[in-house]
Amino acid sequence: MALPGMRREKGRFRHEACGMSAGLIIVGASHAGVTVAAELRAAGFQPAITLVSDETSEPYHRPHLSKECLATDAEPGMLKPTTFYEEKGIERLNARVDAIDPDGRRIVTSDGKSFEYATLILATGAKPRGLPAGLPGAELALTLRDRADLGVLRARLATSRQLAIIGGGLIGLEIAAAARSKGMSVDVVECADRLMSRCISPELANLVRERHVAAGITFHMSSNVKAVTSQGIELTDGVFIPADLVIASVGSQPRTELAARAGLTCDDGILVGVDGSSSVTGIFALGDCARWPDPGLTRGIRHESIAATLWQAKAVAAALTGRPLPASTPLRLWSQQGAMRIQMAGPIEAATHGHITAAEGGHILYGFSTGRLSSVQAMDAPRAFNTAVARIGSCEADFRAEAATS
């Protein structure tokens, strides 16, 4: 059954009036692009929607790549059933967008075709941050971001025995745990003095490190890479780490090239308002490519998480359908590192003090700021984590009193 104003054409839906030209185009068909399309339809948005992506596969769960897909050789699950797009009247176009003409309200694809839009949403995501260009052997280090990268890594892991990972963040540690579960020797090089410094507190980071060390992973903290070779990694302090496979996991860069060429204001992400609107009328952005406002930060923040993407999709859908913006909720992040599950919620950096305790065989850390519970972090304590997250914003004294008697 077609949506009002849509007609079926060769198994797809198009707007009766003028195809793609009168509707909404979304550039990017990962979590952000697919989610905002679904939220728009759920909010009653009727114009034509077209998802444009240069990936040929069905939109899939990208976070799974460094988790179970690498550890078990499972394939990433699809974001939506194949029938979803036809049922919801969402057109899919396999193409690379090379340019945006904001004045003419059109996009231009790599094959020279142009498509007009009434509204444009950029969900172009991010790409792995590479090693410094001047670093000897930088090109030898692999990265993981998409399904193609997964295929390359799987093939190399199958023939390698010693893995060195540059970067001790969430993805680097997920890869490390997956490789160790396959019996590989694993070394992790981290320039900071603790792991996951951007997303969890030192107390929990130390516990996570202890668990990884017990599993046989070796860490080189406060260390910097001097060169990458076909035999391993040379550190600036003279230490050489033997490895027949090197992976770089040193963060991500938002894909803003397309937006910047079109004149959108960018600063390590496309700058947007609370409703996802960019500096150019008729263009919105969300997901890993966008920097959203944050009360405590003058330049906003890029929230690289599924929970943030879902909220942003609801906000954009609300803006485009004339509805109130959704209420803000504590943003969540999680990581599966082997058998260890790490969960975070709320602004970790805002906490002025905290309290860590054992729970469910794991640990949970409560962060407090201005007399209230502001954040929660957990390692292998999912029930306690969910209970505490529901209390974020509550009075510290009341929360501590209730926790002491529970």
HSE value, Cβ hemisphere, 13 Å, CA-based, for 187: 20
Q: 55-69, 138-152, 173-187, 291-305 — which is least confidently predicted?
A: 291-305
Nearest residue to 302 (alpha-carbon basis) of 76, 32, 110: 32
Residue-level pLDDT at 353: 87
Q: Under a CB-based contact definition with an 8 Å cutoff, are residues 285 and 276 in contact? A: yes
Residue-level pLDDT at 1: 32
pLDDT tens digit sequence for 333-372: 999 999 999 999 998 888 888 899 999 989 999 999 999 9
Whether 2 shows a pLDDT value over 50: the answer reads: no
User: Which of 66 and 328 is assigned the larger pLDDT?
Assistant: 66
Residue-level pLDDT at 5: 38
Q: 36-40, 315-319, 328-332 — which is least confidently predicted?
A: 328-332
Nearest residue to 389 (alpha-carbon basis) of 374, 402, 401, 379: 374
What proportion of the chain, given as a percentage, has pLDDT over 70?
A: 93
Domains of the chain, with CATH numbers? 6-127+252-321 (3.50.50.60), 138-248 (3.50.50.60), 346-405 (no CATH)
Q: Please report where in the chains the tokens 């590989």 appear, as a residue.
A: 184
Q: Determine which helix (DSSP H) or strand (DSSP E) holds 248, and give its type and residue range.
A: strand 245-248
Q: 58-72, 149-163, 188-202 — which is least confidently predicted?
A: 58-72
Angstrom distance (rounded) from CA 85 to CA 226:
48
Mean pLDDT of 116-130: 97
pLDDT tens digit sequence for 220-238: 999 999 999 999 999 999 9
Whether 99 shows a pLDDT value over 80: the answer reads: yes
Residue-level pLDDT at 339: 94
Q: Determine which helix (DSSP H) or strand (DSSP E) holds 368, and give its type and residue range.
A: strand 362-369
pLDDT tens digit sequence for 371-403: 999 999 999 999 999 999 999 999 999 998 887
Whether 15 shows a pLDDT value over 50: the answer reads: no
Q: Under a CB-based contact definition with an 8 Å cutoff, are residues 125 and 289 in contact? A: yes
Q: Under a CB-based contact definition with an 8 Å cutoff, are residues 109 and 96 in contact? A: yes
Whether 267 shows a pLDDT value over 70: the answer reads: yes
* Arithmetic mean of pLDDT over the chain: 91
Contacts of 331 (CB under 8 A, 6+ apart): 303, 305, 307, 308, 311, 345, 346
User: Which of 360 and 18 is assigned the larger pLDDT?
Assistant: 360
